[in-house]
Amino acid sequence: MNLCPTFCRALVFAFAGLSLAIAVPAQAPPQSSSSARHRSSARSGLDSGSVTNGVYRNRSLALTCKVPEGWVLRTDELNARDESDEDADKEKANDTPAPPPASSAGAKVLLAAFSRPPEARGEEINSSIVIAAESISSYPGLKEAAQYFGPLTEVAKAQGFIVDEEPYEIAFDSRTLVRADFHKDVGSRVMRQSTLALLSHGYAISITVIGGTEGEVEDLIDSVSFTARAK
């Protein structure tokens, strides 16, 4: 099976760089469930979810995630950046219509939350929670969540991360997920990242948390929960 690095996996590990800077508006509009997002959800069959009173809820996945108080949301901006990149590629091709590449087809960010605005520099690691979905149809032969970590690990290493724990299964509420752990030295600091993955509704779902300590990473993982298996 040939699984090339794709939008969501590259995006997940690109978040490490967001602790330094990212080109997004300094004053972004508050997170909302826009009509465009609802239309996208209807087409894909996967609920995009929404944040209400500091809690992200996704009915399709029966998933909730408590966003720490004071964190900023950048879900819409990151999805818009990917769409802008696709538009730019089409313009470079002399406006010749072309199907979207497999690297972005059916891929979207469901939740992106940061401890501080990504464009703001700081001394501490910019902790984050990122939930992304990528269509399984982009991966011929993808049958198990563990397979998703092969190319993901390649992307991680290319971004300077070191593997702490190879992918392993964990019982997570009503689900069985696959988890892998990484770390990266950033000057005198250590950036720790853990990614959990599952297959659901025709998508590979990744839940990635970044923190400055192992304890912080575990606390962020504990903020995620599944109620019951989604129908």
Q: How does pLDDT run across 139-176, given as a tens digit for each residue?
A: 888 899 999 998 888 888 898 999 998 899 999 988 99
Q: Give tens-digit pLDDT for 12-37.
A: 554 544 433 322 223 333 444 333 44
| pLDDT at res. 28 | 35
Average of per-residue pLDDT across 126-130: 94
> Model-level pTM greater than 0.85?
no
Q: Both tokens of residue 38?
A: 């609802």
**Which residue segments constitute the domains of the chain, with CATH numbers given?**
7-20+53-226 (3.40.1000.10)
Residue 56: is its pLDDT beyond 50? Answer: yes
Q: Both tokens of residue 92?
A: 């470079």
Count of beta carbons in the 10 Å neighbourhood of residue 40 = 14
Whose structure tokens read 């089409």?
90
- Asked whether 138 and 147 are in contact (CB, 8 A), the reply is no
What is the amino acid identity at position 199? L
Determine if residue 172 is left, alpha or beta; phi over 0 gives left, psi from -120 to 50 gives alpha, anything else beta.
beta
Considering only residues 181 and 41, tell me which one the structure prediction assigns the higher pLDDT.
181
* d(C-alpha 204, C-alpha 66), whole Å: 21
In the chain, the DSSP E strands lie at 50-52, 55-58, 63-66, 72-73, 107-114, 128-135, 162-172, 175-186, 189-200, 203-211, 224-226
Residue 7: is its pLDDT beyond 60? Answer: no
Burial class (CB in 10 A: 0-12, 13-18, 19+), 25: exposed
Average of per-residue pLDDT across 79-103: 45
| pLDDT at res. 88 | 46
Q: pLDDT tier at 11 (50, 70, 90 boundaries)?
A: low
Closest CA to 76 of 116, 39, 44, 33: 33
| pLDDT at res. 8 | 52
Q: How far is CA 91 from CA 6, 70, 77, 101, 182, in A?
A: 21, 39, 21, 15, 37
